Chains A and B, each alone.
Chain A
């Protein structure tokens, strides 16, 4: 366990350091978040709950595509070859997924804050919704991490990632939207646990598949 943990941790540290050193890309994503939410606010004003919910999850999807694409696509061929020679693909993809999940958690908090300020925040269970949104962002980021790995091997196209990813993410997105509508209603509904479990199973499936399949993408 220790032997797996240390390379993963150092790769994760490398990603975090890169973010600090090349801050322009992170600020780029932040600006994307702020501008898009502002445009949404200008277009929709303060929408009612269901519309708010839908808009929020759409925003999360697009933020995730952008943020995750950035981390994979900013590495050139030479750097990828260097990583190929020094670490195992399993460590690489796990570290990448952890980093993207952490990044999405941060962006989720920021975008939820902006949504609350601009588009209104009239939810019955605000902290439940916050928890659901964190869980959802992490789930989406796991799927898109692997898809970004695929797209980065295929001509580095961010649009390709969206094409590959949107059909696959639909079931999880629908589950998340169903889950978050429960946070809106006043009555506590019993289906919450089963949906959360189902989503957790999805995430586990995605992680397992990524760990199994990434070595095939690695040898290029």
Chain B
């Protein structure tokens, strides 16, 4: 499955569709946001991708803890790595969007803070991994930290911004994916172009790294 090409080509097709339709397609005219709502295809889709990768990473960590399979640990690490990359990209695209919509790159919004905290947690995950030389021990302990940190992250990113007032949509209890905010054209491009496109791209990058790591484990060569 990792070597098949069809889903990689599919990801390129999805992304091309997202870019072309995203910039040329029509968008609803919202106050304040105007044309910047097109960033939905990039920023929000990347966040979705990041959450998916972190969820996959924690699932593989749990799998590692259950049966001590070193490949599961490789999967967990590489998905966490890609999650960080997408998180940074999401933060950058979000800051650019914030500059035009809210006036400043960073406004201490709860979701922004939650995202920054997520990045710090996963960077700490990598520092923890590298601090131990014994491979089994490093895999097991970082898997434990991955599960713990992810469970603490859930409330931070999802629950708290909904409870407090926030510049993002969805503060103070409103539904963040409100159907009135985006129309059916955008929804089509978002759910059938952007999210699968960015996610598959991330999976492609991750699987390349996984294959590299498996090669290095199998032939005991450091890459």
Which residues from chain A sit less than 8 Å from chain B, CB to CB? 143, 146, 150, 153-155, 157, 160, 163-164, 166-168, 170-171, 194, 198, 201-202, 205-206, 209-210, 213, 216-217, 220
Contact = CB atoms under 8 A, between A and B. Distances in A.
Given A167-B124, A216-B144, A217-B144, A155 B152 contact: no
Contact of A167 (B65, B121, B128): B121
A210 B113 CA distance: 25
B77 to A, nearest CB: 16
B188 interface: no
B50 to A, nearest CB: 15
A164 B125 CA distance: 7
Q: Is the interface of B mostly helix, strand, loop or mixed?
A: helix
Given A164-B145, A209-B151, A171 B160 contact: yes
B117 A170 contact: yes
A160 B128 contact: yes
A220 B141 CA distance: 10
Chain A facing B: main interface SS: helix
A206 B152 contact: yes
Q: Which 5 A-B pairs have the closest CB atoms?
A: A167-B120, A167-B121, A171-B156, A168-B152, A213-B144
Given A160-B127, A160-B128, A205-B155, A154 B141 contact: yes
A145 to B, nearest CB: 12
Contacts of A198: 163
A171 B147 contact: no
Interface residues of B, number: 27
A199 to B, nearest CB: 11
B131 interface: yes
B148 A146 contact: yes
A205 B144 CA distance: 15
Nearest to A167: B120
A143 B155 CA distance: 15
Given A171-B155, A206-B152, A217-B141, A154 B124 contact: no
Contacts of A155: 131-132
A146 B65 CA distance: 17
B137 interface: yes
Q: By CB atoms of chain A within 10 A, which of B114, B138, B141 has the most?
A: B141
Contacts of B65: 216
B141 A160 contact: no
B147 A209 contact: yes
